[in-house]
């Protein structure tokens, strides 16, 4: 018999609909039942493409004995973290406080009112030799402690919530004076943590460091990083190029089908967890486009092209928006669709070309993955050699597409679509691809036309048969503001004057964010709005994780909107953020990199290039992208007060108009 999840729209919840666990979706009725029966609550969080979520489901949640323990002693709630990030954040915070680490599946035990007191991530069904308590034993211990030692659990819950309240504001008091030198020191400290041999920051597992590299590349645009004896500019170049190269050639990148997987389990970037997430690819598309604009490395252009091809082939919905993710597993086996052995390659390419391909892509009889299978990893750093293998990659991809494919989560998320729009806009302009810019524009129009309700508020998730639903969080607003502004930066290249619509939309959304999410007493914006369903805690997110924090993203939006409009309200909000970021900039730049990138862009000065009386803007685009990336808004205007030609404003300073574009360009 299916449980309560059978009729839920979330693919992740429906994946658990036939478990013998008596799952509840997240709802007040579940907590009311817990209070009525006086049972603790298990909040179990994951997502549809998560490999270890599938493992724990097969091992524990499909087991009748284990499910019986869960049903007897707990009220069990299953949550899709992509559908309800505000719930996931609270319980992830709790588990990280308890264990100093977190991840998915996330399993958090709570009092009947939802206050967390204990939790962890993956638990095996039996002793595994890794020091992790088996799930059945943990269930029985928690249940016994709830009945016999509840005061201890109450004390744990109160301590966790007090720590959450402390973390909301402890490092963001706004005391002291902001100094732009903090940005240089932070970039230098970040570069010191870099793995100069293999790329990335720290050891395994390695996640794509999109925000960290975005920050150091932003600082790289400052002349200040070339002054003095530290050679910060050269150091940034080493860091950025080493990691961009390593990720592009490694198994994190799908060498046949394009697109990046979520993270590498090893330090060499060879073997990923194979799920592909829309947000990673939006962030990395933006990063590789900026990397290409600075370094002119053809590999970075190829990566951009192959990410967009993957987006178009696999993730683009008919409505113009993008789907969420592809599963790590197919046929119940992680990575099965993606891996090869030499015999399989030779069957497709023939012995000679097969050997050539296997030698180039680390496919051996021993295998670099499991069971003698290999995930393709490009060993040669010669781009010309890579390009010569293009036909062979296409042949293998055609055969791979005949395999059973990983599952696709077709829900569409506002925040993740916004990150993708930002990356598409940047790559389109950098590489002169009007078709990509049109793809970004279509997605932005779908988002603004469909995901905004009649009151002008965003909705976070859209299901194919149900349409938009839910209460948006700060990320939805902040990322959509950034997406609208990125599109506004470049859309006049395709349609002169179209930027005004997207700037206007960004202003409207920023005004809602300020009105509904801002903390009126202390710096920062809450993750949920003031009229959101009441949760056990209203938290602020200051630190980047797999995606930027909403507060970090707002810094970019406020900086751009002040440059475009001159409205002092945006300047005041931005100044509050500067003061709030002083301690994090000095001590934790690696955790707040997107905020630091926004403050660095503002310190350099957001540029607005106004153009009048110029029919073809392609030479303007080509001239702008000859220089390393910086935030520039290209605006075609018919304002009678604006002189013919070009006028550049940087920050609050506008230069004299000039009919010679090249003369104006020298000021950038």
- What is the C-alpha separation between 22 and 24, in angstroms, rounded? 7
- Tell me what pLDDT residue 37 has: 97
Q: How far is CA 26 from CA 38, 42, 48, 80, 491, in A?
A: 18, 11, 16, 9, 41
Question: What pLDDT does 228 receive?
Answer: 63
| Region of 331 on the Ramachandran plot (φ > 0 left; ψ -120 to 50 alpha; else beta) | left
Give the mean pLDDT of the chain: 94
User: b/e map of 156-168 (b: 16 or more CB within 10 Å)?
Assistant: bbeebbeebeebb
Token pair of 168 as six digits: 């909301």
Residue 90 to residue 75: CA distance in whole angstroms: 18
- Give the tokens for residue 488: 């506004």
| SS3 state at 194 | strand
Which pLDDT does position 22 carry in this prediction?
A: 97
Mean pLDDT, residues 280-284 taken together: 98
* 55-73 pLDDT per residue, tens: 999 999 999 999 999 999 9
Query: What does the alpha-carbon distance between residue 205 and residue 261 come to, in Å, rounded to a whole number?
Result: 13
Grade residue 172 by pLDDT with cuts at 50, 70 and 90.
confident
pLDDT band for position 226 (cuts 50, 70, 90): confident
Two tokens, residue 560: 């751009």
How does DSSP classify residue 374? B
Among 363-367, 376-380, 648-652, name the one with the lowest average pLDDT.
Answer: 648-652
The answer for residues whose C-beta is within 8 angstroms of residue 333's C-beta and 6 or more apart is: none
pTM (2 d.p.):
0.95
Spell out the SS3 assignment of 408-453. EECCEEHHHHHHHHHHHHHHHHHHCCHHHHHHHHHHHHHHHHHCEC
- Please check the confidence at residue 668 and state whether its pLDDT lies above 90: no
Among the listed residues 638, 345, 656, the one whose alpha carbon sits nearest the alpha carbon of residue 499: 638
Query: Given this model, what pLDDT does residue 169 score?
Result: 83
Lowest mean pLDDT among 274-283, 293-302, 428-437, 453-462: 453-462
For residue 304, what pLDDT band results from cuts at 50, 70 and 90?
Answer: very high
- pLDDT at residue 199 in the model: 97
pLDDT at position 25 over 70:
yes
Structure tokens at 584: 């994090």
Measure the CA dihedral 523/524/527/529, to 10°.
70
Nearest to 50 by CA among 546, 415, 528: 546
Rounded to an integer, the average pLDDT of 189-215 is: 96
Separation of alpha carbons 431 and 305, rounded Å: 9
- The set of residues, in sequence order, having a beta carbon less than 8 Å from that of 69 and lying 6+ positions away, is 136, 139, 140, 143
- Dist CA 232 CA 183 (whole Å): 12
Residue the block writes with tokens 């709802």: 27
What's the pLDDT at 100? 81
Record the tokens describing residue 538, joined without a space.
Answer: 């209203």
d(CA 58, CA 408): 19
Question: Mean pLDDT across the stretch 618-628?
Answer: 95
Please state the rounded mean pLDDT for residues 434-462. Answer: 95
Residue pair 504/553 in contact by the 8 Å Cβ criterion: no
The answer to whether residue 171 scores a pLDDT higher than 90 is: no
- Name the 3-class secondary structure at 654: strand
How far is the C-alpha of 33 from the C-alpha of 601, rounded, in Å? 51
DSSP annotation of 288 reads H
Q: What is the distance between the alpha carbons of residues 117 and 43, in angstroms, rounded to a whole number?
A: 11
Peptide bond into 205 cis (omega under 30): yes
Question: Could you tell me what percent of the chain has a pLDDT over 70?
Answer: 100
Q: Tell me the average pLDDT across 429-434.
A: 98
Distance CA 406, CA 275 (A): 9
DSSP state of 320: S
Query: Tokens representing 206?
Result: 């390695």
Report pLDDT digits (tens) over 365-379: 999 999 999 999 999
What would the pLDDT profile of 107-127 be if each residue is shown by its tens digit? Answer: 999 999 999 999 999 999 998
Instruction: Read off the pLDDT of residues 382-394 as tens digits, 9 standing for 90 and up.
Output: 999 999 999 999 9
Beta strands 41-46 and 75-80: pairing type? parallel
According to DSSP, the β-strands at 333-334 and 276-277 are: unpaired
Give the residues across from 46 on adjacent strands.
80
Task: Decide if pLDDT at 229 tops 60.
Answer: no
Backbone angles phi, psi at 143, to 5 degrees: -60, -45
At residue 2 the predicted structure's pLDDT band, cuts being 50, 70 and 90, is confident
- Dihedral sign (CA 310, 315, 321, 324): negative
Any idea which residue has 């949640």 for tokens? Answer: 61
**Is residue 145 classed exposed, middle or buried when 0-12, 13-18 and 19+ CB atoms within 10 A define those classes?**
middle
Calculate mean pLDDT across residues 314-322: 97
CA distance 551 to 573: 11
From the CA atom positions of the chain, what is the Rg in Å? 25
Q: Is the omega angle on the peptide bond into residue 439 within 30 degrees of 0, that is, cis? A: no
Residue 322: in which H helix or E strand, if any?
none
- Residue range 456-467: mean pLDDT, rounded: 92
């Amino acid at each position: 018999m299916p449980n309560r999840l059978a009729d839920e729209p979330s693919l992740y919840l429906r994946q658990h609909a036939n478990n013998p666990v008596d799952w509840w979706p997240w709802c007040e009725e579940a907590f009311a039942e817990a209070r009525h029966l006086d049972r603790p609550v298990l909040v179990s969080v994951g997502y549809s493409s998560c490999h270890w979520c599938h493992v724990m489901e097969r091992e524990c949640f499909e087991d009748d004995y284990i499910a019986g323990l869960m049903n007897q002693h707990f009220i069990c709630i299953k949550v899709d973290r992509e559908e309800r990030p505000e719930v996931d954040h609270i319980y992830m915070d709790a588990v990280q406080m308890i264990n100093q680490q977190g991840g998915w599946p996330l399993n958090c035990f709570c009092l009947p009112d939802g206050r967390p007191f204990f939790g962890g991530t993956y638990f095996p069904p039996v002793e595994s030799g890794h020091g992790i308590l088996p799930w059945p034993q943990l269930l029985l211990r928690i249940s016994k402690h709830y009945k016999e030692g509840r005061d201890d659990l109450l004390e744990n819950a109160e301590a966790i919530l007090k720590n959450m309240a402390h973390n909301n504001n402890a490092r963001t008091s706004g005391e002291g004076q902001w100094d732009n030198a903090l940005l240089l020191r932070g970039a230098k400290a970040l570069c010191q943590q870099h793995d100069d041999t293999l790329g990335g920051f720290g050891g395994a597992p390695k996640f794509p460091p999109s925000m960290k590299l975005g920050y150091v590349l932003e600082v790289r645009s400052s002349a200040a990083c070339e002054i003095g004896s530290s050679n910060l500019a050269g150091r940034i170049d080493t860091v950025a190029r080493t990691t961009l190269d390593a990720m592009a050639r490694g198994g994190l990148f799908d060498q046949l089908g394009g697109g990046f997987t979520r993270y590498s389990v090893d330090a060499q970037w060879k073997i990923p967890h194979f799920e592909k997430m829309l947000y990673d690819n939006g962030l990395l598309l933006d990063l590789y486009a900026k990397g290409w604009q600075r370094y002119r490395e053809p590999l970075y252009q190829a990566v951009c092209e192959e990410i967009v091809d993957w987006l178009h082939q696999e993730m683009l919905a008919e409505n113009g928006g993008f789907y969420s993710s592809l599963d790590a597993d197919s046929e119940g086996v992680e990575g099965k669709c993606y891996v090869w052995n030499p015999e399989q390659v030779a069957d497709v390419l023939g012995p000679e070309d097969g050997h050539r391909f296997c030698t180039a892509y680390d496919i051996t009889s021993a295998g670099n993955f499991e069971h003698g299978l290999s995930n393709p990893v490009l060993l040669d750093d010669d781009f010309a050699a890579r390009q010569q293998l293009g036909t062979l990659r296409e042949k293998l991809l055609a055969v791979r597409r005949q395999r059973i494919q990983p599952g696709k989560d077709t829900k569409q998320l506002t925040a993740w679509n916004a990150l993708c729009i930002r990356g598409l806009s940047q790559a389109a302009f950098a590489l002169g691809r009007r078709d990509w810019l049109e793809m970004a524009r279509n997605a932005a129009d779908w988002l603004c036309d469909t995901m905004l309700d009649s009151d002008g508020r965003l909705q976070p998730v859209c299901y194919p048969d149900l349409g938009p639903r839910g209460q948006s969080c700060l990320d939805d607003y902040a990322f959509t503001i950034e997406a609208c502004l990125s599109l506004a930066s470049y859309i006049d290249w395709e349609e002169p004057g179209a930027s005004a619509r997207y700037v206007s939309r960004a202003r409207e959304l920023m005004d809602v964010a300020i009105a509904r999410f801002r903390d009126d007493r202390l710096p920062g914006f809450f993750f949920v709005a003031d009229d959101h369903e009441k949760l056990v805690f209203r938290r602020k997110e200051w630190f980047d994780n797999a995606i930027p924090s909403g507060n970090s993203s707002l810094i970019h939006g406020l900086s751009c909107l002040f440059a475009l409009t001159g409205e002092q309200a945006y300047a005041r909000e931005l100044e509050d953020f500067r003061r709030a970021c002083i301690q994090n900039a000095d001590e934790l730049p690696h955790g707040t990199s997107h905020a630091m990138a926004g403050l660095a862009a503002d310190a350099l000065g957001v540029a607005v290039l106004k153009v009048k009386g110029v029919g073809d803007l392609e030479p303007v685009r080509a001239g702008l992208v000859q220089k390393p990336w910086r935030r520039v808004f290209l605006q075609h205007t018919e304002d009678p007060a604006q002189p013919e030609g070009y006028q550049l404003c940087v920050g609050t300073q506008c230069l004299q108009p000039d009919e010679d574009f090249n003369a104006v360009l020298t000021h950038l």
